[in-house]
Structure 1
């Protein structure tokens, strides 16, 4: 079920994606992690810490891997967490699963531009993660990446 808080926090993730250094070879993505009460634990965006860093990876990297709050957390991402990547050994969907985050909310499924057939949502769901897609915010997430899609 979508709540006003889900819409606000996913809009915040999209706002964070606008901070990404431009790239012709990667999407600009923002991520927000909140605890069970909706308090922000961490935020991140693509290329925040290095040219290969993904948004979910940046946000998770600011928290201890064993942080107990992650077990009740929700991750908001402007783009579906990746299921494959060439730049790191573990894709973001696996990082989210390993962190124990039980709920993920996304605006936009990854198009077949850099990786054909992204299966991030499927991997999360198969691991028991509740995934909510809010397509009403997909246009805003796509707009940040319009330079890649034209």
Structure 2
């Protein structure tokens, strides 16, 4: 990406919470541990989720499933995800990128691009941007987001 939109002062705090939520994920050798928080334009938390909170749910899917799709707070909201939203799924009908694109959320903040452990062509950031969603990356938090996934990275992926 040639230029990343600027982060806001509160972005690090909310993204750090998403990373902390990822530590609640049931262990898996076949999926990343990811956390997600959705925050309204006034800085109030709307929803949160983490991978495998419900069987086969990804973090973003979990957080989005807890709020009505027409919730009036969503158009100004920011979705914080410790990992780039997925563009490929084998266990569910829709990807996290599709779910976000179809929601009124127009801003996403993430720490870590999906490494080529399970898919070689992850492109969630590109898909979101192509749909007109602002994506802010905070790569300084990537190591923290990757930490609980170290056992997967030993399988051939990297940060």
TM bucket, shorter chain: over 0.9
Match of 1:118 in 2: 122
Match of 1:70 in 2: 74
Match of 2:8 in 1: 3
Post-superposition CA distance 1:64-112 (Å, at most 9, x none): 0111211111000000000111111110001001112110000000001
CA distance in 2 between partners of 1:72 and 1:4 (Å): 17
CA distance in 2 between partners of 1:40 and 1:8 (Å): 12
- In proportion to residue count, which structure has more helix? 1
CA distance in 2 between partners of 1:92 and 1:38 (Å): 23
Matches within 5 A, 1:1-150: 1-50=6-55, 52-150=56-154
Structure 2, unpaired ranges of 5+? 1-5, 155-159
SS of structure 2 residue aligned to 1:56: helix
How far 1:3 moved relative to its partner?
2.4
CA distance in 2 between partners of 1:68 and 1:45 (Å): 23
SS of structure 2 residue aligned to 1:107: strand
Post-superposition CA distance 1:19-74 (Å, at most 9, x none): 00000000000000000111100000000011x11000000000001112111110
Runs of 4+ in structure 1 deviating by more than 2 angstroms, as ranges, are none
Corresponding residue pairs, total? 149
How far 1:4 moved relative to its partner?
2.6
Moved more, 19-28 or 112-121: 112-121
